[in-house]
Amino acid sequence: MIEVRGLAKAYGMRPVLRGLDFRVEPGEFVAVVGPNGAGKTTLLRILSCLARPTIGEVRVAGRRLPGQATAVRRILGVVSHQPLLYGELTAQENLRFYGRMYGLTNLEARIEEVLDVVGLAARRHDLVRKYSRGMQQRLAIGRGILHNPELLLFDEPHTGLDPEAADVLDGLLTKVSSEGRTVVMTSHDLGRAAGLGSRVDILYGGVIARSVQRAEIPADELAKLYRQVTHG
């Protein structure tokens, strides 16, 4: 689903990614962890067609970026810590707006389905500006899955959430992953990322320094490995 080779990205004279290689198979849930400033958001911005690589090859579902960005956007759902919703519209109106952008058929039925999935059906007519932070993030996931994308990109989606809202978000992430979608999530919270992802990649020094299958390493050993990679 994703194949990245020799990816480098610099902002002016400041390199962020330095020859990064990254591969994700269809149906995988990959959690990319690393300290703040490691380049996690930069990687997701390139995968989501919001930034261009300085050098390197990036393919999503066989399509090369940035040249085939339009085709890639059709199969992407992107959720970040900024929900990208319109506060003066209701939940239903927000989804209807995005659904029309995607040209979805049978839109109203799909909106009802998505509102039920994210647990907001009873609040569909409330203005989004009146939602809690957790509710807005749940609706943002609804926006992200509305068009049934093959690939979902989550950039630090738990930022600013209280523990209860974070747990609800975890349930939604687990659900969308169980549906066979490919998921890439960045996080600086190793414990939460390891609990969700089937694979954990440690991004440090502008490259994927280590990649481990979550089932093959206990939580305490993963934490030890993370400290070794990021602190030497």
Give how far Cα 104 sits from Cα of 99, 107, 217, Å. 6, 6, 42
What distance, in Å, lies between the first and last C-alpha atoms of the chain?
A: 32
Kind and range of the H or E element at 182?
strand 182-187
User: Of the ranges 31-35, 129-133, 135-139, 188-192, which one carries the lowest mean pLDDT score?
Assistant: 188-192
Q: How far apart are CA 60 and CA 116, in angstroms?
A: 30
Q: For residue range 8-51, what is the model confidence (pLDDT) as tens digits?
A: 999 998 999 999 999 999 999 999 999 988 999 999 999 999 99
What integer is the mean pLDDT of 60-67?
A: 95
Question: Rounded to two decimals, what is the model's pTM?
Answer: 0.92
Task: Work out the mean pLDDT of the chain and round it to a whole number.
Answer: 94
For the chain, which domains are there? 1-75+149-232 (3.40.50.300), 80-148 (no CATH)
Q: 43 pairs with which residues across the strands? A: none
| Alpha helices (H) along the chain | 40-47, 69-73, 91-101, 107-117, 133-145, 163-178, 190-196, 219-231
CB 31 within 8 A of CB 177: no
Q: How far apart are CA 228 and CA 232, in angstroms?
A: 5
Instruction: Provide the pLDDT for residue 161.
Output: 86
Confidence of residue 170 (pLDDT cuts 50, 70, 90): very high
Q: Measure the CA dihedral 165/91/179/5, to 10°.
A: -80
Sequence-distant (≥ 6) Cβ neighbours of residue 3 within 8 angstroms: 22, 23, 57, 58, 59
Give the pairing of strands 207-213 and 151-155: unpaired
pLDDT exceeds cutoff 90 at 139:
yes
Q: For residue range 172-203, what is the model confidence (pLDDT) as tens digits?
A: 899 989 989 999 999 988 999 999 999 999 99
3-class state of residue 127 by DSSP = strand
Q: How far apart are CA 199 and CA 124, in angstroms?
A: 35
Instruction: Provide the pLDDT for residue 136.
Output: 94
Q: For residue range 88-119, what is the model confidence (pLDDT) as tens digits?
A: 999 999 999 999 999 999 999 999 999 999 99
| DSSP string for 11-59 | ETTEEEEEEEEEEE-TT-EEEEE--TTSSHHHHHHHHTTSS--SEEEEE
Give the pairing of strands 207-213 and 199-204: antiparallel
